[in-house]
Chain A
């Protein structure tokens, strides 16, 4: 499988717990993006990386959200002290070229906060 891989696909947690999602991009892609999607809405941009550098993080929803890409390959998105409003699909995408909108999305990690 050479597509974008996300893990876990589904996560159910209790309010106040921390969760972490992992994304493995397509191997030769140096750009990696995180989006959030709620039911009936389009994906909402959160942050993105060029290799290991996080180029934009002001769109992360709060200081409870953080993302890393330590070695320029896989990335993690952590949500601390989850709230019910965090329930959503978290999508990861990658791209090869810098100046392209052709993003390759994974199938997402669905978070349910009880």
Chain B
């Protein structure tokens, strides 16, 4: 079946460095993508989203890139801080399924002070 997956399950970065978290999706019909952050013991928290008619979107310290040709999504975090340590999930919305969002396995980001 179709699935959302991540290239790396864990990522460690030095405080102040930039982080890049990758996500591969296999459903070519997906038209909307979201990144979530989940801290230990908490529910996921929305970070940023991007629709399939865009290839880049920027937020505060975060940038999402979408490459539809290779079905790849990435989240870039600038000047990573200890508070960024969490598990990051990408989620996709299959076209014409309403608001059903399907999450990947997640990448655990650890920021080293």
Residue B12 at the chain A interface, CB threshold 8 Å: no
Residue pair A43, B44 in contact (C-beta under 8 Å): yes
A46 to chain B minimum Cβ distance, whole angstroms, is 10
CB-CB under 8 A from A56, the residues of chain B are 97-98, 100
Residue A91 at the chain B interface, CB threshold 8 Å: yes
Residue A21 at the chain B interface, CB threshold 8 Å: no
Residue pair B89, A48 in contact (C-beta under 8 Å): no
Residue A63 at the chain B interface, CB threshold 8 Å: no
Interface size on A, residues (CB 8 A): 28
Take A42-B89, A43-B89 as given contacts and tell me if A101 and B44 are in contact as well, using a CB distance cutoff of 8 Å.
no
CA distance A31 to B98 in the complex (A): 11
CA distance A31 to B36 in the complex (A): 18
CA distance A7 to B42 in the complex (A): 14
Residue pair A48, B99 in contact (C-beta under 8 Å): yes
Residue pair A44, B98 in contact (C-beta under 8 Å): no
Q: Mark B92-113, 1 if CB is under 8 A from A, else 0.
A: 0100011111111110000000
Which of B4, B41, B99, B102 contacts A99 (CB under 8 A)? B99
5 contacts between A and B (CB under 8 A): A4-B43, A41-B105, A48-B98, A93-B44, A101-B33
Q: Which residues of B contact A (CB under 8 A)?
A: 4, 32-34, 41-46, 49, 89, 91, 93, 97-106
Q: Which residues of A contact B (CB under 8 A)?
A: 4, 31, 33, 35, 40-45, 48, 55-56, 59, 91, 93, 95, 98-108
18 additional A-B pairs beyond A42-B89, A44-B103, A93-B44, beta carbons within 8 Å, are A33-B99, A35-B103, A40-B105, A41-B105, A42-B4, A43-B89, A43-B103, A45-B100, A45-B101, A45-B102, A48-B98, A56-B97, A56-B98, A101-B32, A101-B33, A101-B46, A102-B46, A107-B43
